[in-house]
Amino acid sequence: MIKSVYILKRNGILLYSKNFMDQPYDDNILIGFFASVANFSREALESVVKFVDLGEDNKLILEPKPEEKIFGAAIVSSKDNNELVSNFLKDLLQDFIDEFSPDYELEVIDRSNIEEILQTNLKRYTTYSLPVRFALTWIILTPLSILFTLLNIFATEYLVLSPNPNFFTIEQILTRLIPQIVLFSFAELVIVFGIANFISGLLSLNLKVSFINALIYFIIIIITYFLSVQPVLIYIILAFLPFIIIASLGGAYIGHKIAIKRRIVK
């Protein structure tokens, strides 16, 4: 979540700031801090400190443009991806430079132009609000859950219920049929729960919401199985419950990790 954005001269003069929080930060205090960190790191460490943990779910991202003697800064959530925010600031600064270089004077800088530049870059890097992401997730998950469940039921019925035991010896049932059923059931349940929850994690961009979606999705699948022509198939799910939990939470976690590297939460 981007909480505030700043563009400053290297000497600490504020060229532009935008706050997205209900309680704005004190720009006078922050600007001095930003300039101190940037100048100290450049002169004392011969490099630029780009990431500073501010505590209380806040961190500072600094992105310098040494050749232009300006730099960008953003206060974001501690959960946001550092490189993604840095890329956002790089693009924002480049657009700012293209528009106002070489003279960065407050009198000639049109704030409305900067607002337009900022909004363009925000659309490129940020995602929808949480309610919209939640709704979008279930718009996709609902038909997907129905499709996966039907395919799972048909495939399981074909493999488990179709064979006539009279055609198998006890040895064949123990050594061939049961292992095939176990492997097939394991694979299809990993697909049914893993893929769906991966999509949930990818779209929701919120790990807690992804895990809640995983629970809701599991309940929907159980109800669908119970109402199907073969409710006995529920026992297959219960037998593989530990693997289903791993596939569901693992899929949601992987989807979430990929998503936060691609989008910043509003």
Cβ count within 10 A of residue 38: 22
User: Are 248 and 193 within 8 A, CB to CB?
Assistant: yes
**pLDDT of 44:** 46
Is residue 92 within 8 Å of residue 118, measured between CB atoms? yes
pLDDT of amino acid 264 = 85
Domain 2-125 has what CATH class?
alpha beta
Task: Output the furthest CA–CA distance in the chain (Å, rounded).
Answer: 91
Per domain, the residue ranges of the chain are: 2-125, 130-260
Looking at this protein, which amino acid is placed at residue 125? Answer: Y
pLDDT number for residue 55: 80
The long-range contacts involving 7-10, CB below 8 angstroms and separated by at least 24 positions, are 7/70, 7/71, 7/72, 7/73, 7/92, 7/93, 7/96, 7/114, 8/34, 8/35, 8/70, 8/71, 8/72, 8/73, 9/69, 9/70, 9/104, 10/35, 10/38, 10/39, 10/64, 10/69, 10/70, 10/71
pTM of this prediction? 0.74
Confidence (pLDDT) at 45? 45
Sequence length of the chain is 266
Looking at residue 249, what is its pLDDT?
94
Instruction: Give the model's pLDDT for residue 38.
Output: 65
What integer pLDDT is reported at residue 184 of this predicted model?
67
pLDDT of residue 46: 47
Report CA torsion sign: 117, 84, 86, 51: positive
pLDDT 10s per residue in the chain (266 long)? 888 898 988 777 888 888 888 766 666 777 777 767 766 655 544 456 677 888 888 888 888 887 888 888 898 988 888 899 999 999 999 999 988 887 777 777 888 888 999 999 998 888 888 888 999 999 988 888 778 777 766 766 666 555 555 555 555 544 555 566 667 667 777 888 899 999 999 998 888 999 999 999 888 888 877 776 666 667 777 778 888 899 999 999 999 999 988 888 76
Q: Please, what is the angle between helix 178-190 and helix 130-156, to 10°?
A: 160
Q: Residue 32, exposed/middle/buried by CB under 10 A (0-12, 13-18, 19+)?
A: exposed
